[in-house]
């Protein structure tokens, strides 16, 4: 035991040993489980660089032997309308995010800072929306959008998710923390109610807005059922729906490597958000649990 310092007491030594064993156990359990959880994601990325034939190699190739470079990605771009899907997903997510944050802040501020008649009942209404899953609404929403003549249009894709009840709820919780004194001071200065909202409340809601923006973006980016049923026009297909063209084809095996390339492409924006805005990302996820 050369590393043990001569003046270390038995007690100290034992404590250190116990801590080491504890760490060892924690590290091995943690590593085992987290690698288990990480593995499928790793597989997605690594398979996107393999050839179709190598996908099912047994034993599995951890690193592609026949490294394909970006060939599968190029294939996806050349043979499908991947860039169109990508743009559609981005446009829809962007519009819904901006609208959800803005109208959420507007309504949240209204609910938090004004006592108008019907406030409680209206807020209860908003709350009740949060508990209703979209599956229940998909049939009548589809009929409604058709009535409005918005089928096969961006309006049809975007409108039902333009404002989220959760966004209103979340912004209301945060709007409470805006001090009334500041608002009153501005009122005394003669500022209009809207400019008070814009100049004082909105800046203070920025961190909450950032979290809301991220989860709204994710929610929109990942949404599947609505784009699946509403977009008949090939120009309106979004990424998740486009991806199923690879996995659901009737008469042939999916092109797995290409499917993995598209999957990776679809995940990159989320990874970027996670890397650059980790704090808001996690906070947003946590509060969004309410959304169900």
Backbone phi, psi, residue 7, to 5°: -90, 5
Q: How far is the CB of 47 from another protein (least distance, A)?
A: 7
- Residue closer to another protein (CB basis): 6 or 53: 53
CA–CA distance, 18 with 118 (Å, rounded to integer): 62
First to last CA, the chain: 56
From the CB of 212, what's the least distance to another protein, in Å? Answer: 14
We find the least distance from the C-beta atom of residue 36 to another protein, in angstroms, to be 9
| Closest residue by Cα to residue 97 from 164, 175, 151, 155 | 164
- Report in angstroms how near the CB of residue 217 gets to another protein at its nearest: 12
Burial of 254 (0-12, 13-18, 19+ CB in 10 A): middle
Q: In whole angstroms, how close is the CB of 135 to another protein at the nearest point?
A: 4
Give me the least distance between CB of 205 and another protein, in Å please: 13
Please name which of 265, 258, 262, 263 lies closest in space to residue 51, comparing C-alpha atoms. Answer: 258
Phi and psi torsions of 57, nearest 5° = -60, 135
* In the complex, least distance from residue 7 CB atom to another protein, rounded to whole angstroms: 25
Kindly report whether the peptide bond that precedes residue 187 is cis, defined as omega within 30 degrees of 0: no
Q: Are 262 and 78 in contact (CB under 8 A)?
A: no
Q: Give CA–CA dist 114/109, Å, rounded.
A: 8
C-alpha span between 1 and 67 (Å, rounded): 48
* Contacts of residue 242, Cβ cutoff 8 Å, sequence gap at least 6: 80, 81, 82, 85, 262
């Amino acid at each position: 035991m050369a590393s043990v310092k001569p003046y270390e007491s038995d007690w100290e030594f034992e404590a250190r040993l116990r801590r080491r064993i504890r760490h060892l156990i924690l590290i091995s359990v943690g590593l085992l489980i987290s690698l288990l959880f990480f593995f499928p994601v790793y597989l997605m990325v690594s398979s996107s660089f393999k050839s179709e034939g190598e996908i099912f190699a047994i034993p599995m190739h951890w690193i592609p032997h026949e490294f394909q470079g970006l060939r599968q990605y190029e294939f996806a771009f050349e043979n499908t309308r991947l860039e169109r899907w990508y743009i559609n997903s981005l446009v829809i997510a962007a519009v819904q995010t901006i609208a959800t944050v803005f109208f959420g802040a507007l309504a949240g501020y209204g609910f938090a800072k004004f006592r108008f008649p019907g406030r409680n009942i209206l807020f209860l209404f908003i709350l009740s929306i949060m508990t209703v899953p979209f599956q229940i609404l998909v049939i009548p929403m589809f009929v409604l959008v058709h009535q409005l003549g918005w089928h096969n249009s961006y309006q049809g894709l975007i409108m039902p998710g333009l404002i989220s009840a959760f966004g209103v709820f979340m912004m209301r919780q945060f709007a409470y923390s805006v001090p009334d004194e500041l608002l009153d001071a501005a009122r005394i200065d003669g500022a209009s109610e809207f400019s008070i909202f814009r100049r004082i409340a909105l800046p203070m809601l920025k961190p909450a807005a950032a979290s809301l923006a991220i989860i709204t973006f994710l929610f929109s980016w990942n949404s599947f059922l609505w784009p699946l049923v509403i977009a008949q026009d090939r120009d309106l297909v979004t990424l998740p729906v486009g991806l199923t063209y690879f996995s659901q084809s009737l008469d042939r095996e999916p092109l797995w490597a290409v499917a993995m390339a598209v999957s990776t492409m679809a995940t990159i924006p989320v990874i970027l958000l996670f890397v650059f805005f980790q704090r808001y990302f996690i906070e947003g996820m946590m509060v969004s649990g309410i959304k169900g």
